[in-house]
Structure 1
Amino acid sequence: MVAILGLATAVPPYALDQGDVIERALRIYAPVVERFPNLADVFVNAGIERRYSVRPIEWFDAPHDWRDRNDAYLDGASALFEVAARDALDRAKLTARDVDVVVTVSSTGVATPSLEARLAGRLGFRSDVMRVPVFGLGCAGGVSGLSVGARLARAAPGEVVLVVVVELCTLAFRADRSDKADVISSALFGDGAAAVVLRAGDDAEDRATLRVGRTAEHIWPDTLDIMGWSIDPAGFGVVLSRSLPRFVEQKLAAPARKFASTIVGNGRYIFHPGGAKVLDAVQAALGLSNDAVADEREVLRRYGNMSAPTVLFVLERALRRGLDGPAVMAALGPGFTASFAALDAAGAGHA
């Protein structure tokens, strides 16, 4: 088992109330909503009251090209990375100089040098720190990033691995595109970051109340069109198939139950809340009660779908509410892929 010594989350300063988003979005998307009036219900039924953005809502009224969007990404992602990393290290009672490996997970912008290199001096990473930037995992990135970090920690007992997951989904809003996927994404996505400090070895085991065990992924063939990005001169364009909830309901159970069968005890799930309909599909696929996804729905309500970091917000909330014992952390993302990690929160609910 790999110990989680610190976990922290962060959101940017600008709150987007869903009512304000509805007003602006329906004005922008008026032609497509006139053709498909039921799309207006997406905002009301999304289960979201508020999201957060690295830019104020007025910023989205003007056109922005790829450079504008990526400059906003570099600025906003760097700020969130720093806050989440510092808080996670503080909770682990460590400093940036203690970090041996940094895993940076982000798919909503392009940074070369990558984010951890841009912040190395400000945070105080050592000059020999190992950098592992990861791109392209989308909503699965929180679980997959944690899995990568845990495997690196397990391979080098005693070393400190910092995993930082940051996504700025709002910057992909495109007023110049108006298909159904764009309308749906404008109703769901927000910005956020999370960081986790990991270490393996006897000393870490003694300190930890939360641990990561086995990890796994499952990729379905011929599913590249379910979720992802298209790219053009104005930036990223969302690819989001309307078949996603049905696909989840029909296909998730087999790999999820196979992985869960390897966990000792009757553990609960910690899911990435991709949206209200996706959570409904998860419940149907696995026969879960409403209480079993209460933390997921509350995070969705308060923050929207922040892509990769969202599942770590759910884990943080579950810990605060007394999570104890085994759990399966799970998320779905482009590929199309399911990512799983076994957690042992023995004693965490009482820490």
Structure 2
Amino acid sequence: MFIVGLGTANPPQRYTQAECLRALQAHPCYDALKPSSQALIARILQHPHGIATRHFALDDLAQAFELAPDVMQQRFDENAPKLATEAAFRALADAGITVEDIDAVVISTCTGYLCPGLTSYVIERMGLKPDTLALDLVGQGCGAAIPNLRTSEALIAAGRAQHVLSVCVEVCSAAMYLDDDAGVLVSACLFGDGAGAAVLSAEPGTGPQVEWLDTYALTHPEDRDLLRFEHRHGLLRNILSPQVPERAAHYAEAVLMPMLQKHSLAQSDIAGWVWHGGGKNVLDALQAKLGLADSAVRHSRRILNDYGNLSSAFVYFVLQAALADQPQSGWWWMSSFGAGFSCHGGLLKVTA
């Protein structure tokens, strides 16, 4: 399988972390927080913590604190199909193919729910063929991109599809929550809205060739409660535990090393790295655990700085940025991790 096109999309509204802090401090919900919670938010948003700006599907930042189930659901309903479609059209343009060439569409999200799923809306908006195979994947959190790509790979390998559209879209502003839990507050300072898409094909495309060669994944339910959504008062509430950076780094190593051994590779053989950027502390932990050079995480850090944590869409942004920056030919490694606790890896071969 080959990745022959990539596209990304964000809402046009972009806000600095300082603007987010001022909007929160001006809202009555801020006064309901404990002084320690207010201090935590200020510390994260006022000082460099790996994120400078984030995009939100909001006309005004004050809307972010309208924490009512119907308001949040409407935000997802209006923006998830729009962002997914925009990213998908850009991926098609990058691949140089048309909607008539798409045989299947696989869409992942964790920040909202629709029935029929997002695929129905994207098929309609894009004008895809009525017999396009449509699969909606939910509940995989930040790690969803690679399971999505593995599903697409299976469709191509089975001969069911020649071209598959793979999309991850997250409207994180539709899944925010505020209370005095430190993990909840950090989450509110971390996530942004966006979508990423890839066109996958049985044959290589033009430009740099990105071949999807092999994958490996681990799921550890004993760590499920470290990183997950729960429902409270009709809203999604993100649980983000302090152990997440260490666990993410541990499992990232546990997924990478068997794949290197399987293919008789050393870590030094990897020419390009595509990491999910769960946050500055996560990237710091990854870098320390694996002894990675700054260059191995620079694209992930840049995407985190410019967009925040985009959840499942993040690795599409990183891959796109890496391929646009004088890519080196050779073995590449892509890794995503998230709810579950799950960690996924994909071995790529890039010919620049």
Q: Same fold (TM over 0.5)?
A: yes
Decide whether the 8 Å contact of 1:143 with 1:340 is kept in 2.
yes
> Per-residue CA shift, 1:190-219, capped at 9, x if unaligned?
00001111111xxx1365611111112111
SS of aligned partner of 2:283: helix
- Report the equivalent of 1:12: 11
CA distance in 1, matches of 2:324, 2:151: 25
2:341 matches 1:336: yes
How much has 1:334 moved relative to structure 2? 0.6
CA distance in 2, matches of 1:77, 1:173: 15
| Identity between Structure 1 and Structure 2 (%) | 28
CA distance in 1, matches of 2:41, 2:299: 26
SS of aligned partner of 2:239: strand
SS of aligned partner of 2:84: helix
CA distance in 2, matches of 1:90, 1:260: 34
> Per-residue CA shift, 1:236-280, capped at 9, x if unaligned?
111111111122344432332222333465113210001000000
- Report the equivalent of 1:291: 295
Residue number among 67, 77, 92 corresponding to 1:74 in the alignment: 77
Decide whether the 8 Å contact of 2:275 with 2:300 is kept in 1.
yes
> Per-residue CA shift, 1:279-306, capped at 9, x if unaligned?
0010111111112111110000001001
CA distance in 1, matches of 2:54, 2:36: 27
CA distance in 1, matches of 2:71, 2:348: 40
CA distance in 2, matches of 1:184, 1:114: 29
- Report the equivalent of 1:311: 315
SS of aligned partner of 2:222: coil
Aligned length, in residue pairs:
342
Aligned amino acid, residue 294 of structure 2: N
> Per-residue CA shift, 1:119-145, capped at 9, x if unaligned?
323311111111110001111012221
- Report the equivalent of 2:36: 35
SS of aligned partner of 1:125: coil
> Per-residue CA shift, 1:46-92, capped at 9, x if unaligned?
21111101113434365342221111101101111111111111222
- Report the equivalent of 2:165: 162
Aligned amino acid, residue 76 of structure 1: N
Decide whether the 8 Å contact of 2:85 with 2:122 is kept in 1.
yes
- Report the equivalent of 1:279: 283
Aligned amino acid, residue 299 of structure 1: I
Residue number among 194, 197, 200 corresponding to 2:199 in the alignment: 197
Taking structure 1 as the reference length, the TM-score comes to 0.91
Residue number among 181, 184, 187 corresponding to 2:186 in the alignment: 184
- Which sections of structure 2, spanning at least 5 residues, go unmatched? none
CA distance in 2, matches of 1:284, 1:48: 20
How much has 1:186 moved relative to structure 2? 1.3
After superposing on structure 2, the runs of 4+ consecutive aligned residues of structure 1 that deviate more than 6 Å are: none
How much has 1:185 moved relative to structure 2? 0.8
Taking structure 2 as the reference length, the TM-score comes to 0.91
Residue number among 101, 105, 109 corresponding to 2:108 in the alignment: 105
CA distance in 2, matches of 1:125, 1:240: 38
- Which sections of structure 1, spanning at least 5 residues, go unmatched? none
Question: Aligned-pair RMSD on alpha carbons?
Answer: 2.0
CA distance in 1, matches of 2:349, 2:264: 10
CA distance in 2, matches of 1:118, 1:101: 14
Decide whether the 8 Å contact of 1:142 with 1:308 is kept in 2.
yes
CA distance in 2, matches of 1:30, 1:65: 18
CA distance in 2, matches of 1:158, 1:164: 16
Residue number among 269, 272, 282 corresponding to 2:273 in the alignment: 269
Decide whether the 8 Å contact of 2:224 with 2:340 is kept in 1.
yes
